[in-house]
Amino acid sequence: MSSHLETNVLPPSRQRELPGQTRKWVGHSMKRVEDRRFLLGKGQYIDDHAVPNMAHAATVRSPHAHARIISIDTSKAKALPGVIGVYTGTDLATVVDPCPSFASPPVTQRAIAIDKVRHVGEVVVAIVAVDRYIAEDAADLVEVEYEVLPANVDIEATLEATGDSVIHPADREGNKAHDESFKFGPVDEDFARADHIVRRRLRWKRSGAQPIETCGCISDYSVVDGGYTIHCNTNFSNFIPFVIAGSLRISPTVLRMQPIATGGSFGSKVFIHKIVILTSGLSRLAGQPVKYIEDRLEHFTNSDSHGSDRLYDAELALAKDGTMLSLRFDVIDDYGAYLQFGVGTHGNAMSQVTGPYRIGSFGMRVRAALTNKCQQGPYRGFGAEVTNWVLERLVDAAAEELGMDTVGLRLQNMIQPDQFPYMIPTGNIYDSGNFQEVYKQADELIGLAAWRKKAADLRAQGRCVGVGVATCQERSVYSPTEWWSLNNLAAPGFALSSTPEGISLRIDPVGKIFATLHSVFIGNSPETIVTQVLAEQFTVDPSDIVVSYSDTHSGFNGVGPQGSRFTAMITGACVSASYKIQTKLKRLAGHLLEAAEGDLELRDGAVTVKGTDRKISIGDVAMQASFFRLNFPDTPDFDSGLETTAVYDHPISTLPHPERKHLGVFYPMVGHICHIAVVEVDPQTGKVAILDYAAVHDNGTIMNPMTLEGQVLGGTANGIGSTLTEEFIYDDQGQFVNANFGEFAMSSAWEMPANLKIGHVETPSPYTEYGVKGGGEGGRLGAPSALSSAIDDALQRYGVKVEQIPVRPSTLRAMIRASGK
């Protein structure tokens, strides 16, 4: 371990529920308790909600990528019967402030643009009307005159922009929003002593989550207290009030955010900021509740969550025997017109940037480029999917240049099972793992040797068949230092924060256990996981557990599902809350059974005297605790009620070095994945067919095999899409030319491999309860690398290398033709 890491000292584990025990509910497949309402059409998503006297909003959006707003004429729109109000950015700014920005210096962003538009789809005017149809009619009657400015589209050219091309001239002189360099360990020395340096220029292009449900909001301004009641499908329901209240010029105390089930997120609904501010401002201006639901075009062109869009000049330093020494890269990220999270997506990737390999040092320069495109936000991987791909591309390139086998080079450099917890150069740790076992299982599952031989035979017959292997990390359970660790060191865009997760628990008089979550459902399985853990803890049947969700007035410390954190964090909270209630349960039962508390245990839903059949059911204790106070001693520890709250802090995190020699431990529950893909490319069309596919994941202790498999499959589907078809295409004028489901080419049932083989290895975490790790993102963290590798292999004859993704069929066909072979 390099000396720069000496100050990064690991605290001891706080794990209470040890892995490897026999469990009745934890670790077993269980049908989800969430599902009946969704199967019955009673999901209560955002657009299913209505409040009395609710009006509807529609927007007028910029047709230009970059333009000055010369004039806006709303008179015809205002005159349309049924229109309640027509509002410009200036109108909205009388009641709300700009959107939150964590960049430093901040990039000013408003829910409705003022004076200037900076990307196609940015809102210029909003209409409130009695129904959405009339609101949209009115939108067509608004006349906006623009002076078109030069559009910045190219990721490199924008960094040189001057004059009218500068997107935020009041904030900064050019379009470079951020430029920082870091070295973790002896990067220069390692490169100097290297025998071989592999260099590649790699391009990861923009796409996005595009869940089937768009974002929406109902906001109701209250003249009673000056606050808002907000229904919104954000994943941050108990967290963003403390951020967004500032933009609404109110105290979070009067911001009542309701928990709304989300019709898919994949990160994209983590922080819905623009439309909450927009809808709230409209409600205040119109004097009645307002609903605004994005249509698909709005979600494409003006969401808060386009994915990473990066250009890398990356280098891997190796000794001549193939030992990997150091990694460095210079990356430009096209963040679009705004920089909400700073370069947090790069901080995230620092958790596993050196992959599963023993690479001793790492350096990078990161530049944030502003262009005339929609802003970035989270999408399954939050930037770490890109560094996985960059590293795996370099490893494949190294194997080729050194004349080594791609698998052999990987295995040679992998961290060994006895080296955990393993600290990488950035300071993050990998808590546990057995990468070799994961690889072995994937190899066997797909029959790697046989496929390699078959692919070679088929290539010899003229077909373009290839095999690709990727071995990647899947970080989970973030501590939010990732957000700010790469931030402007002199003046960070936001301060060090933490992300606990809480739960409320009570046992009702008949012994039913009511759990209240402070984070929402996004398609994950929060109720099922909580039910499994509580059933395990209380030795009761899952049907005895009832789960609900709090609003912000009854909720607390809920950060929600993102960064593959929720299962591990809510499990910790459940364990803490269970222990607290069990203590009281045993105290009361001990009195009723005339037994010492220490002699009691929970068994089959009853408090039982160990070694005997003397027992009292949880329900009977709860009845006594609820209605029969006089049956207990008159001391406070026997007061009525069986209820508690518990907040679980991140199980292991450390502070970054003050000078950023390292970043501390911030994303330590690290799983491992091996994806092996076999593809055939049609050189005439550039279409890639997946002939076979194996995905083996190690996510620590598996809570529910069925739901984890769902995450693996779904993430892999996203990864396939990101590699082969899905791209947000902006032309050279900044027009978003495929902003619809017809042309965006999202994977359908035909694009998924028919025989996707899933395997699991379980290496428990030594830090989380039961040893669970997160598993929500791995598919997308592995598929791009495996597919890129397989396509290279398939196209050996043409010498085509995948150095940008997606490789849509037209792209790949053009590459094949350009090869001249």
Partner 1 sequence: MTTHAITITVNGRKREATVPARMLLSDCLRHTLGLPGTHVGCEHGVCGACTVMMDGRTVRSCLTFAVQADGSELTTIEGLANQSQLHPIQEAFWEEHGLQCGFCTPGMLMAAKELLSANPNPSDDEIREAISGNLCRCTGYTQIINAVRSAAAKLRAAVPTLAT
Give contact residues for partner 1 (rule: CB under 8 A).
31-32, 34-43, 45, 47-48, 133, 209-214, 261-266, 295-296, 522-524, 706-707, 709-710, 713-718, 740-742, 746-750, 752, 754, 756, 779
Range 341-371 burial, b when 16+ CB lie within 10 A, else e: bbbbbbbbbbbbbbbbbbbbbbbbebbbbbb
Least gap, CB of 714 to partner 1 (angstroms): 5
Angle (nearest 5°) at CA 415 between 413 and 420 = 170
Residue with smaller CB distance to partner 1, 631 or 748:
748
Least gap, CB of 297 to partner 1 (angstroms): 9
Contact 692, 678 (CB under 8 A): yes
Residue with smaller CB distance to partner 1, 269 or 662:
269
Nearest partner of 761 among 447, 438, 473, 442, judged by Cα: 438
**Cα 300 to Cα 121, 212, 297, distances in angstroms:** 8, 12, 5
Residue with smaller CB distance to partner 1, 40 or 224:
40
Locate all alpha helices (DSSP H) within 725-753, ordered by sequence: 741-744
Residue with smaller CB distance to partner 1, 213 or 396:
213
Least gap, CB of 594 to partner 1 (angstroms): 44
Cis status of the peptide bond prior to 806, with omega within 30 of 0: yes
Strand duo 176-184 + 361-369: pairing: antiparallel
Least gap, CB of 48 to partner 1 (angstroms): 4
Least gap, CB of 348 to partner 1 (angstroms): 21
Phi, psi of 373 (to 5 degrees): -135, 170
For CA atoms 601, 605, 611, 615, the dihedral sign is positive
Least gap, CB of 756 to partner 1 (angstroms): 6
Q: Who contacts 74 (Cβ-Cβ below 8 Å, separation ≥6)? A: 86, 88, 125, 142
Instruction: Strand 643-648: give its sheet, edge to edge.
Output: 545-549, 513-517, 501-507, 643-648
Least gap, CB of 304 to partner 1 (angstroms): 17
DSSP 190-254: HHHH-SEEEEEEEEE---B---SS--EEEEEE-TTTS-EEEEE--S-TTTTHHHHHHHHTS-GGG
d(CA 51, CA 750): 41
Helix (H, G, I), strand (E, B) or coil at 527: helix
Residue with smaller CB distance to partner 1, 628 or 741:
741
Residue with smaller CB distance to partner 1, 118 or 299:
299
Least gap, CB of 737 to partner 1 (angstroms): 15
Least gap, CB of 749 to partner 1 (angstroms): 4
d(CA 775, CA 471): 16
DSSP 278: H
The two tokens of residue 671 are 């799983």
Least gap, CB of 750 to partner 1 (angstroms): 5
Strand duo 123-129 + 55-61: pairing: antiparallel
Least gap, CB of 445 to partner 1 (angstroms): 15
Residue with smaller CB distance to partner 1, 541 or 604:
541
Residue with smaller CB distance to partner 1, 564 or 707:
707
Residue with smaller CB distance to partner 1, 411 or 758:
758
Residue with smaller CB distance to partner 1, 538 or 736:
736
Least gap, CB of 670 to partner 1 (angstroms): 23
d(CA 695, CA 682): 24
Angle, helix 778-794 to helix 448-460, in steps of 10 degrees: 40
**Residue whose pair of structure tokens reads 């230092």 in the numeric block:** 481
Contact 254, 228 (CB under 8 A): yes
Least gap, CB of 778 to partner 1 (angstroms): 12
Nearest partner of 275 among 483, 126, 129, judged by Cα: 126
Residue with smaller CB distance to partner 1, 582 or 785:
785
Helix (H, G, I), strand (E, B) or coil at 19: coil
Least gap, CB of 511 to partner 1 (angstroms): 24
Least gap, CB of 336 to partner 1 (angstroms): 22
Residue with smaller CB distance to partner 1, 259 or 355:
259
Alpha carbon 363 to its chain's center: 25
Nearest partner of 451 among 673, 782, 674, 676, judged by Cα: 676
Residue with smaller CB distance to partner 1, 165 or 704:
704
The two tokens of residue 234 are 């954000």
Least gap, CB of 349 to partner 1 (angstroms): 23
Contact 668, 477 (CB under 8 A): yes
Residue with smaller CB distance to partner 1, 323 or 738:
738
Residue with smaller CB distance to partner 1, 500 or 710:
710
Least gap, CB of 502 to partner 1 (angstroms): 23
Q: Is 12 exposed, middle or buried (0-12, 13-18, 19+ CB in 10 A)?
A: exposed
End-to-end CA separation in angstroms for the chain: 47
Nearest partner of 46 among 176, 216, 195, judged by Cα: 216
**Helix or strand run (H / E) with residue 57:** strand 55-61
To the nearest 10°, report the CA torsion of 31, 35, 40, 41: -160
Helix (H, G, I), strand (E, B) or coil at 29: coil
Least gap, CB of 44 to partner 1 (angstroms): 8
Helix (H, G, I), strand (E, B) or coil at 503: strand
Residue with smaller CB distance to partner 1, 21 or 29:
29
DSSP 312-379: EEEEEEE-TTS-EEEEEEEEEEE-TT--TTTTHHHHHHTTSTTTTB---EEEEEEEEEP-SSPPB---
Residue with smaller CB distance to partner 1, 48 or 731:
48
Residue with smaller CB distance to partner 1, 135 or 621:
135
